[in-house]
A and B are shown apart, each in its own frame.
Chain A
């Protein structure tokens, strides 16, 4: 039920790009991406729906490959504010609840 995220951790310099992957063993109806900073609540980034197109949020975008049951989050020209832990959430049974991956810790350094 729980999606698998990779990599577990990424260290970047400001301005570099990163890709975070999320895969599921179950068919997916939607994928959610959240970012959580230490000690804070997860903050919604975007949702990708089955049959929908790639989404974007400033320099953060994501894709959803339904056949491969995968989603990828793309962070372009990373900024210090991008640091945090990124979680994907999937709704594998179309039951209006979602399960989170274990997270990818992103550290952007000056």
Chain B
């Protein structure tokens, strides 16, 4: 059973471009979480999705950021018109039943650099 797969591992974008980050959860996992991590800082919750539904996006900036988890295919975190402050590592995690009483498995992350 492959782990959580994120791609690309590294992404460089110029200011104003769009960034699309992909996350394929572990097989059988229908809960996906996205976190942002700045250098030397903790993991900040962004959004929690289940298949075809956004459950909680309270950690997402109101503008330019969106996330989806379609019925088929990976979860996508999309950042439009990127700015330098978006540079960070973005991790996704998946779990089979939600994190209340079960562990979440993390992907290797996508390191976004905005130049």
Chain A residues within CB distance 8 Å of chain B: 2, 29-30, 32, 34, 40-44, 47, 49, 87, 89, 91, 94-103
Contacts and interface: CB of A to CB of B under 8 A. Distances in A.
The SS class assigned to the A binding surface is loop
Given A97-B45, A103-B41, 12 more contacts: A40-B108, A41-B4, A41-B91, A41-B107, A42-B43, A42-B106, A47-B102, A87-B43, A96-B98, A97-B98, A99-B45, A100-B35
B48 A96 contact: yes
Interface in B22-48: 31, 33, 35, 41-45, 48
A75 B108 CA distance: 25
- Max chain B CB contacts within 10 Å: which of A29, A30, A44, A97? A97
A63 B4 CA distance: 28
B101 interface: yes
Contact of B99 (A32, A43, A101, A102): A32
A96 B99 contact: yes
A42 B92 CA distance: 10
Interface in B63-115: 91, 93, 97-109
Contact of A44 (B41, B42, B48, B104): B104
Contacts of B105: 44
